[in-house]
């Protein structure tokens, strides 16, 4: 017998093996004014998304059929897991995996209701036969990582300016007190080169840093452990962060950002988090660095230097 409760606009469930599809999210309205109003009801004074009763929605969204899945275009497939993103038709994509992070549903609704950042609309989310599915709107555009070499200086500047604006909107959302973790008050997710780990939520940056240090491999030299402990600051501002903000998660067209994708690792983190994560995925050229420097409007070079080496010695990272 399934059991669970609504978190954000999602339903967190326990379910028996072989059970029928369990819908996590009823149909989300396409009208953003309705969506925004619904999420405004979920706001807590602390900035945490509250539980949403199922009566807020009146319909279930579409469930993708097996035939549609077998004929779909593969947009991306993880090398480290079974996660895939499939294009079902000209207006629809589905993200699926046995261990898919359903917090992305909460994060996308949160961003929809509080910013003008272009993100996909959620059409449905459910569990079926051991797999988790998030059905979303398909947004046109080319990934910035592939478009970059052919962009004009003017287009790069326009995209950078838009990203700066979007980052400002995210980072200016009032943060909850004493929380480093997900938008619904759950664990923080740290994604690195070999996967992601969850921990918390944490009441302060000192607790968060302690958890980070616990991810070091057992054979990490004591000198390195002490060095990382000394270099982790505890006085950063806590801001809403994407958690995987590389060129691979931005779509562009005609000199504009058409979408920022993959919000499963988003949440409340120290202010340097997105700067460090975004630079992890850049080629290391001066023009890439200058782009990020302008987009963020502030650099965290000490944190990035430490985090680069730290990634190489944690269990979910590597050289």
- What's the confidence (pLDDT) of residue 193? 87
- Give the count of domains, the chain: 2
Give which of 64, 73, 185, 52 is closest to 127, Cα–Cα.
64
Q: Is residue 60 part of a domain?
A: no
pLDDT digits (tens, 9 = 90+) for 17-60: 333 444 444 334 333 333 344 444 444 444 555 433 322 332 35
Q: Is residue 31 part of a domain?
A: no
Task: Identify whether residues 232 and 248 lie together within a single domain.
Answer: yes
Structural domain of 81 = 66-137
Q: Is residue 28 part of a domain?
A: no
| CATH code assigned at 214 | 3.90.1200.10
Task: Identify whether residues 311 and 178 lie together within a single domain.
Answer: yes
Q: What's the per-residue H, E or C state across 198-241?
A: EECCECCHHHHHHHHHHCECCCCCHHHHHHHHHHCCCCCCEEEE
Task: Identify whether residues 215 and 312 lie together within a single domain.
Answer: yes
Give which of 316, 308, 304 is closest to 217, Cα–Cα.
316
pLDDT digits (tens, 9 = 90+) for 212-263: 999 999 999 999 999 999 999 999 999 999 999 999 999 999 999 999 999 9
What does pTM read for this prediction?
A: 0.82
Residue 90: CA count within 13 A, CB half-sphere: 0
| CATH code assigned at 115 | 3.30.200.20
Q: Is residue 17 part of a domain?
A: no
Task: Identify whether residues 156 and 280 lie together within a single domain.
Answer: yes
Q: Of 118, 137, 156, which residue sits at a domain end?
A: 137
């Amino acid at each position: 017998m399934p059991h669970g409760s609504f978190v954000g606009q999602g339903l967190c469930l326990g379910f028996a093996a072989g059970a029928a599809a369990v819908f996590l999210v009823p149909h989300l309205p396409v009208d953003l004014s309705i969506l925004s109003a619904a999420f405004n009801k979920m706001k807590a004074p602390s900035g945490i998304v509250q539980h949403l009763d199922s009566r807020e929605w009146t319909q279930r969204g579409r469930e993708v059929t097996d035939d549609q899945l077998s004929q779909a275009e593969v947009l991306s497939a993880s090398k480290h897991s079974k996660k895939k993103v499939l294009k079902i038709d000209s207006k629809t994509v589905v993200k699926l995996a046995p261990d898919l992070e359903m917090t992305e549903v909460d994060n996308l609704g949160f961003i929809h209701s509080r910013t003008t950042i272009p993100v996909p609309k959620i059409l449905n989310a459910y569990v079926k036969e051991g797999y988790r599915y998030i059905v979303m709107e398909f947004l046109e555009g080319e990934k910035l990582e592939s478009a970059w070499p052919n962009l004009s200086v003017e287009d790069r500047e326009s995209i950078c300016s838009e990203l700066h604006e979007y980052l400002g909107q995210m980072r200016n959302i009032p943060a909850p007190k004493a929380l480093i973790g997900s938008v619904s008050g759950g664990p923080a997710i740290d994604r690195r080169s070999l996967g992601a780990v969850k921990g918390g939520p944490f009441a302060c940056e000192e607790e968060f840093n302690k958890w980070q240090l616990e991810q070091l491999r057992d054979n990490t030299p004591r000198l390195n452990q002490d060095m990382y402990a000394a270099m982790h600051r505890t006085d950063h501002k806590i801001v809403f962060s994407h958690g995987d903000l590389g060129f691979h998660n931005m779509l562009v067209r005609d000199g504009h950002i058409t979408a920022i994708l993959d919000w499963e690792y988003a949440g409340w983190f120290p202010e340097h988090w997105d700067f460090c994560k975004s630079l992890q995925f850049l080629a290391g050229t001066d023009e890439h660095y200058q782009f990020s420097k302008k987009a963020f409007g502030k650099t965290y070079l000490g944190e990035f230097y430490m985090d680069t080496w730290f990634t190489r010695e944690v269990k979910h990272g590597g050289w």
